[in-house]
């Protein structure tokens, strides 16, 4: 709209009440967290193959999955949990306290969504204020989050190929394994930066500027 000559254009992000969320916890495990409705829109159909491909090459990575939805996919997740009891944990629906604990402990937030509205999406915003970078699909919400706000927030995979997600997870794991202190510093930076940008108090200030202008 600005390129078309409109002057009164404001970009107002979604907000998170970050005071309710924990700061990142430094643990000696690499946990990939999927936290969403168990629906195709969220990329759940890709998740089993991503997990299989990752664990075929690396049994040190753990996958925590939380959410409820389509029973077909829930059953697949339970089978994966039985197949890889040391690597896959399917929690089903979780309460707020459990969600916040998982977000603070996780190393990477996996978001292979096909469509999202708002920026950041609620789940990714919650992950960021908890100090968890995200790995997302190449959709507008995720591209803009990185390109407009901060490139350190995460990574984007260009297509919906499970191999691409799996390879990126393995790459990020190798970086974490060889640079654990540096990775935790990144997580602390992400948490502080996201709280600066997306905390409810900061976003309310932006709304006030818009409605009180002139």
Query: What would the DSSP string read from start to end of 95-123?
Result: -HHHHHHHHHH-SEEEE--S---SSS-HH
Residue 11 has pLDDT above 90, yes or no: no
Predicted confidence at residue 9, as pLDDT, reads 59
Q: How confident is the model at residue 114 (pLDDT cuts 50, 70, 90)?
A: confident
pLDDT at residue 118 greater than cutoff 80:
no
Is residue 66 within 8 A of residue 102, CB to CB? The reply is yes
- At 14 the pLDDT is 63
**Quick one: what percent of the chain has pLDDT higher than 70?**
83
Q: What percent of the chain has pLDDT over 90?
A: 64
CA-to-CA distance for 153 and 196, rounded, in angstroms? 13
pLDDT interval class at 173 (50, 70, 90): very high
pLDDT for position 209: 58
pLDDT at 117: 65
With left for phi above 0 and alpha for psi between -120 and 50, is residue 154 left, alpha or beta? left
Write down the pLDDT at residue 25. 96
């Amino acid at each position: 709209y600005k390129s078309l000559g409109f002057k009164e254009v404001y970009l107002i992000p979604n907000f998170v009440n970050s005071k309710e969320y924990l700061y990142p916890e430094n643990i000696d495990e690499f946990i990939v967290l999927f936290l969403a409705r168990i629906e195709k829109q969220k990329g759940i159909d890709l998740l089993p193959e991503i997990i299989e491909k990752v664990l075929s090459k690396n049994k040190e990575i753990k996958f925590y999955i939380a959410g409820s939805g389509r029973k077909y996919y829930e059953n697949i997740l339970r089978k994966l949990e039985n197949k890889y009891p040391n690597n896959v944990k399917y929690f089903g629906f979780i309460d707020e306290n459990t969600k916040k604990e998982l977000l603070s402990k996780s190393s990477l937030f996996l978001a292979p969504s096909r469509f999202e509205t708002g920026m950041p999406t609620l789940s990714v915003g919650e992950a960021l204020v908890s100090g968890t970078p995200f790995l997302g699909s190449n959709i507008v919400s995720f591209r803009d989050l990185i390109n407009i706000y901060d490139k350190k927030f995460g990574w984007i995979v260009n297509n919906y190929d499970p191999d691409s997600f799996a390879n990126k997870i393995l790459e990020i794991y190798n970086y974490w394994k060889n640079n654990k202190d540096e990775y935790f510093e990144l997580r602390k930076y992400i948490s502080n930066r996201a709280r600066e940008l997306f905390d409810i108090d900061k976003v309310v200030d932006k709304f006030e500027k818009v409605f009180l202008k002139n």
